[in-house]
Structure 1
Amino acid sequence: MAMAFKMATTGMRVTDECTSSFLEMKWKKVHRYIVFKIDENSRKVTVDKVGGAGENYQDLAASLPVDDCRYAVFDFDFVTVDNCRKSKIFFIYWLVVLITSQNYNIYLYSLLAIITISSPTVGLNGSVRDLVRRSHWQRSPEASRIRAKILYATSKAGLRRVLEGIHYELQATDPTEMGFDIIQDRAK
């Protein structure tokens, strides 16, 4: 009985392919990493790319887009100081941030709109709502990326619950925040 798992907070669904790929990585060591993306049209988290067992962390980092958000899991194998082989699974939340004053304003307005729509009791006055409605943020390319960032941010916890067995989490807004040295330090 195949059924996508529904995330309670966002209405987002995680496809069966996501969970089966993760279990193959975790138990069978078939994959070194998995990159997940959100399909906004179907409102599902899907598998974007799977790295084979022979691939490494640099391959994962190279597979992340420079202009869009993604989730990824990475199976890090290492040897301890006691000469024991270990494996730790990292969850990486890739959130590209290109901030300009215009993007910041658009982000602020869209965030206020989401707060207003999702919780009308927050106390935002009608003028903020009207400002958001009259602005052009819904049609701009920057707003599309901002909408994606908000969608990824609100769906992250639900995906983490589905992927049981994650040891560490990293949030990165640029490649320096998810360097291999950070993975090594965390795994010790």
Structure 2
Amino acid sequence: MYKFDFPLFYKIQDMQVIVETLGEREQSYDEFTASLPADDCRYAIFDFNFVAGESKTCFIAWSPKTARIRTKMIYASSNDRFKRELEGIQVEVHATDLTEMSLDGIRRYIN
């Protein structure tokens, strides 16, 4: 099983999911979303603090509308297999644009 710190960005390279970058633990949500590529898919994990002292580990499947169709298909078909390798995922979000990942949108998944 993978162990992870927060936030993490994963990409598929040579048909394997690899860690692309490890962000700062104190990174803001806006900095996190700004780190997502505008025209390529990614998986991301973010520790979302929604109430003081409480957090949920969110898995983001990022597939922007501008990404290549083949890339979207590869990420979609690898999604479930990859998630099974992770521990502690409490919230899952599939997003094609940043409005689907707004803080209010994430809170809807949590509640």
- Aligned identity (percent) is 43
Q: Deviations over 1:128-179 (max 9, x none)?
A: xxxxxxxxxxxxxx8xx21111100000001110012101111111110011
Amino acid at match of 1:64: L
Task: Answer with 1 or 2: which has the greater Rg.
Answer: 1
Query: Aligned ranges for residues 1-188 of structure 1 at < 5 Å?
Result: 19-20=2-3, 22=4, 25=5, 31=6, 33-39=7-13, 42-79=14-51, 85-98=53-66, 145-188=68-111
Measured after TM superposition, the shift of residue 92 of structure 1 is: 0.6
Partner SS state of residue 23, structure 2: strand
Measured after TM superposition, the shift of residue 181 of structure 1 is: 1.5
Partner Cα separation in structure 2 for residue 61 and residue 170 of structure 1? 13
Partner Cα separation in structure 1 for residue 19 and residue 51 of structure 2? 29
Partner SS state of residue 52, structure 1: coil
Amino acid at match of 1:160: K
Measured after TM superposition, the shift of residue 185 of structure 1 is: 3.2
Amino acid at match of 2:95: A
Partner Cα separation in structure 2 for residue 74 and residue 36 of structure 1? 12
The Cα RMSD (Å) is 1.8
| Structure with a larger share of its residues in helix | 1
How many residues matched?
Answer: 111
Partner SS state of residue 96, structure 1: coil
Partner Cα separation in structure 1 for residue 35 and residue 15 of structure 2? 22
Partner Cα separation in structure 1 for residue 94 and residue 107 of structure 2? 15
Q: 1:130 — aligned with what?
A: none
Measured after TM superposition, the shift of residue 47 of structure 1 is: 1.0
User: What is the TM-score normalised by the length of structure 2?
Assistant: 0.89
Amino acid at match of 2:49: D
Unaligned runs of 5+ in 1: 6-18, 26-30, 99-141
Measured after TM superposition, the shift of residue 78 of structure 1 is: 3.2
Partner Cα separation in structure 1 for residue 50 and residue 74 of structure 2? 34
Measured after TM superposition, the shift of residue 96 of structure 1 is: 1.1
